[in-house]
Amino acid sequence: MSVLSSGQIIDRLFRSDPRDPERIFIVPTPKHKDIKDASVDLMLGNYFIVTKTAKFSTLAARGKNTKKAIASYQERVFVPFNEELVLHPGTFVLGATWQYISLPKNIYAQVFARSTWGRAGLTVATAVSVHPGFCGCLTLELVNNGNAPVTLYPGSRLAQIVFMKVDSIDKDVPIGQSKYCGMIEPSFSKLYDEFDELEEWKRIGELGSLKDRPEER
């Protein structure tokens, strides 16, 4: 897996044929100043998901009402370009990129904070992987790890995306099947999708506990 250089990124972004299977789509198209040696700067969009910790105790993937609980734990807010969102120390919010991105089947990407914001204590992405075939606005997990509040401005170049070419593709593995694919705003967590899997592990644990119990005499 090799990282695309700025020249390779430009080549894939500005191909004349929109049906080219190797083309990378970023809409709006980035300006040349936003294309660095091996990355592209991404701007912060207008939609955020903020948490309401005062009204919530815990978030459990194995809870029966997890989907409903997440809806009560988080709320969606819109911040215009002429306004701002203040992120206090230790606070977590979900944002999204202003750009809509579509990756070809042989490109994998990772998202990182721009160092300008990272030095201010802001972590921009805690889940950085963008799988081949993904399309949509990227959700950004924003955490203020600093000691002072950080002001977020929609339209600011907050993150950067690095593209890598996948050496080989397994044709039997479905591409672009992410449950967050196609989103144009930050989406609520789908932690409830893990319920069945965690319940199965719970049953395995209970069976193991029964086997370890001493026999009654």
The answer to whether position 199 is within a domain reads no
Q: Helix, strand, or coil here: 192? A: helix
Instruction: Indicate whether this model's pTM tops 0.85.
Output: no
Note the pLDDT tens digit of each residue in 75-85: 889 999 999 99
The answer to whether position 12 is within a domain reads yes
Give the catalytic positions in this structure.
141
Say if residue 117's pLDDT is above 80: yes
Tokens of 197: 């899997």
Tokens of 209: 């506990």
d(CA 191, CA 60): 8
The answer to whether position 213 is within a domain reads no
- The CATH number given to whatever domain includes residue 101 is 2.70.40.10
The answer to whether position 14 is within a domain reads yes
Question: pLDDT class for 170, splitting at 50, 70, 90?
Answer: low
What mean pLDDT is predicted for residues 90-101? Answer: 92
Return the bridge partners of 135, or none.
Answer: 102
The answer to whether position 27 is within a domain reads yes
d(CA 12, CA 21): 10
Return the bridge partners of 152, or none.
Answer: 85
Question: Pseudo-torsion of CA 174, 175, 179, 182, nearest 10°?
Answer: -140
Which domain, by its residues, includes 73? 2-192
Q: Helix, strand, or coil here: 20? A: coil
The answer to whether position 177 is within a domain reads yes
Domain count, the chain: 1
The answer to whether position 125 is within a domain reads yes
The answer to whether position 203 is within a domain reads no
